[in-house]
């Protein structure tokens, strides 16, 4: 059987691997073995923390809403959300937090309606 040299394919695999590790520090971005290990760990962490990211953002929205609610003269976040539900205003926390941060005049109108 003839000898097969794998130089081109090996270079391609290495180049693709290092491209995925671009931006990593030290040997993790330049050395094949370290880059492979770093990519495996990064993939595991990104999978494990995908659900946590949703929780983190929800907590951030709630903190922002609570601050904005108190600025608008309401007592707390929980009473604000309770009153929203009673008046059947169907805005989620993400949208409300964006209004509170980027368009406070709209949020103050919503808060006045909820009072």
Residues 64 and 39 in one domain: no
* Band of residue 102 on the pLDDT scale cut at 50, 70, 90: very high
108 and 60 together in one domain: yes
Query: Is 2 among the domain residues?
Result: no
| Percentage of the chain exceeding pLDDT 90 | 90
Q: Retrieve residue 40's tokens.
A: 């495996």
Position 91 in a domain: yes
SS3 per-residue string spanning 57-70: HHHHHHHHHHHHHH
Listing DSSP states for the chain in one string gives ------HHHHHHHHHHHHHHTTT--GGGGT-HHHHHHHHHHHHHHHHHTHHHHHHHHHHHHHHHHHHHHHHTT-S-HHHHHHHHHHTT----HHHHHHHHHH-HHHHHHHHHHH-
Both 71 and 22 in one domain: the answer is no
Which domain does 79 fall in, by range?
Answer: 51-114
Q: What are the contacts of 43-51 at 24+ separation with CB within 8 A?
A: none
Give me the pLDDT at residue 32, please.
97
Query: Tens digits of per-residue pLDDT, 22-73?
Result: 999 999 999 999 999 999 999 999 999 999 999 999 999 999 999 999 999 9
Predicted confidence at residue 111, as pLDDT, reads 93
In a domain, 33, yes or no: yes
- Do 100 and 78 lie in one domain? The reply is yes
Q: How far apart are CA 70 and CA 36, in angstroms?
A: 50
Is residue 34 situated within a structural domain?
Answer: yes
Do 41 and 61 fall into the same domain? no
The answer on 34 and 81 residing in a single domain is no
Q: What is the average pLDDT across 84-94?
A: 93
Number of domains comprising the chain: 2
Task: Tell me if 1 is assigned to some domain.
Answer: no
């Amino acid at each position: 059987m003839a000898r097969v040299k794998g130089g081109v394919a090996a270079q391609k695999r290495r180049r693709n691997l290092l491209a995925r590790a671009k931006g990593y520090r030290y040997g993790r971005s330049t050395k094949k073995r370290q880059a492979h290990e770093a990519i495996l760990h990064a993939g595991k962490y990104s999978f494990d923390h995908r659900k946590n990211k949703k929780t983190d953002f929800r907590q951030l929205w709630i903190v922002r809403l609570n601050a904005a609610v108190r600025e608008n003269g309401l007592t707390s976040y929980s009473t604000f959300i309770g009153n929203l539900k009673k008046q059947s205003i169907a805005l989620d926390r993400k949208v409300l937090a964006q209004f509170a941060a980027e368009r406070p005049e709209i949020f103050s109108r919503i808060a006045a309606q909820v009072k």
